[in-house]
Amino acid sequence: MIEVEGVKIDTRHWIGGERVASTRSFPDISPIDERHLGDLDAAGAAEVDQAVTAARAAFPAWAALGPTGRGAILRRVADGIDERREDLARVETRDNGSLLRSHRRGVMPRVAMNFRFFADYAEKLAHPGMEVRGHRERITYDPAGVTAIITPWNAPLMLATWRIGPALAAGNTVVLKPPEWAPLTASLLADIAHEAGLPAGVLNVVQGTGAEAGAPLTRHPGINRLSFTGSVPTAGVIAAAAAPNVVPLSFELGGKSPLLIFADADLDLAVDLAVEQFDNAGQVCLGAFRLLVQEPIAEEFTARVVERARALVQGDPRDERTDVSALISRPHFERVRGFVDRALADGARALLGGGPNTSLNGLYYSPTILADARPGSEILTEEVFGPVLTVQTFADEDEGVRMANETRFGLAATLVTGSAEKAERVSEKLSAGTVWVNCFFVRDLGAPFGGNGKSGIGREGGTYSFDFYCDVKNTVFSPAGWRES
């Protein structure tokens, strides 16, 4: 047991409705000041197998409850999250360095919504059915079994429950492996779910590294679905591990999204959207870090973005005045610094920042805006996952669209224009799972979410989630052969 921000947290796994200890442990370090928060039990193959076994044992009874029975419990879980919203916000801020004000106002309410929305959706989920040559076809969504969920550190609880919510609502049981760099709120979630009456074994949490806990989970033969959010290289390893068991996969991976700004755009709006990309210190997969600006407005737009970004306050995320916090860990900090150092050596020019924040030290990397990067260079093509924007210009619509699509990723794209016709025309040409027009980060949970290209496999949200987490069954009834009863 450790105490973080006045909140007591059990450092053991949660398996089969009980706390389970391991002989090994791993350290949890806060990015705010690189302070050691405590050591957590580290799972290996034995604990993973125990968790999968518990999930399989709990599956029949959980599936048999039906959407209504499951929904009642999941809504109680959501209520428990609301009741402990402040604890969850403070702990996750300390654990992953995201802004406390964001956790309070947006992230933790969304965590509760992930349970309520999918509980409600499952109760209404129905297919109209079909008919062929007089035969009636009934299409149903059957629970698939055990779902393995592996989540990232940039929004650990929100992204975990975005998968846990629909998986449980569908009637599956879950084994969650939280990120080793920010694992604490997953342990609190297990307590909340237990207190809400979630049956033992329905949700299991195994902590540890990807190599020791993630690897045996992804290759376990008892897994029926696997959802992963993270990097492209890790996704490749997971896919190879899961392939012998032919496990359906849902991958939400990286991005290198464009913010495409046309000369007819509302410049105030365009500047607001550009500066918003520094949210969470740029550690956002959906972030539009490539600013593509039409030439007539490029000089004014760039000057205004630099001025606004220079005014951002960087510091302790627990301070309500802070806009930009620290990067998650020392290895990630060095990774981001390496990207920028190589870009500058390759001829890019720093309009703002370009290095660590020397007044803060630690893991605080200055908000950075780069211009004149060489076309096709690493800084324009690879995901940095830090507070680093690049500025490029384009002459006309065709060139802007071409530059926007010059990426192996396709998670999202944002465009700003004053022309409704142009918005319709350009959005159709952009290769991305989500396109935002004159807005950013707006999406109903019923809408599809996922990426094109190297940004992922599949879509989740609304019916799309149940298409993945369920076995969709078609039963065909003949009009002949019935006996009177």
Residues annotated catalytic, as ranges: 252, 285
Token duo for residue 398: 């065709």
Is the CB of residue 382 less than 8 Å from the CB of residue 356? no
Asked whether the CA dihedral 297, 343, 430, 458 is positive or negative, the reply is negative
d(CA 467, CA 22): 36
Q: What are phi and psi of 139, to 5 degrees?
A: -110, 120
Q: List, in sequence order, the alpha helices (H) in 140-242.
A: 156-169, 184-195, 215-218, 232-242
128, exposed or middle or buried, with CB in 10 Å at 0-12, 13-18, 19+?
A: exposed
Q: Nearest CA to 431 among 309, 178, 256, 298? A: 256
Q: Is 51 exposed, middle or buried (0-12, 13-18, 19+ CB in 10 A)?
A: buried
Q: Are strands 290-294 and 388-394 parallel, antiparallel or unpaired?
A: parallel
253, 455 Cβ separation under 8 angstroms: yes
DSSP SS3 for 51:
helix
- CA dist., res. 165 & res. 73, Å (int): 11
- 383 burial type by CB count under 10 A (0-12 exposed, 13-18 middle, 19+ buried): buried
d(CA 39, CA 46): 19
Q: What values do phi and psi take at 241, rounded to 5?
A: -70, -35
DSSP 442: -
Cα-based distances in Å from 33 to 97, 329, 362 = 9, 10, 6
CB atoms < 10 A from the CB of 346, how many? 13
Q: Which of 447, 354, 453, 443 is nearest to 406 (CA)?
A: 453
Q: Give the CA-trace dihedral at 434, 435, 439, 440, to 10 degrees.
A: 40
The CB-side HSE value for 96 (13 A sphere, CA atoms) comes to 28
Alpha-carbon distances, residue 221 vs 226, 331, 407, 466 (angstroms): 11, 33, 35, 22
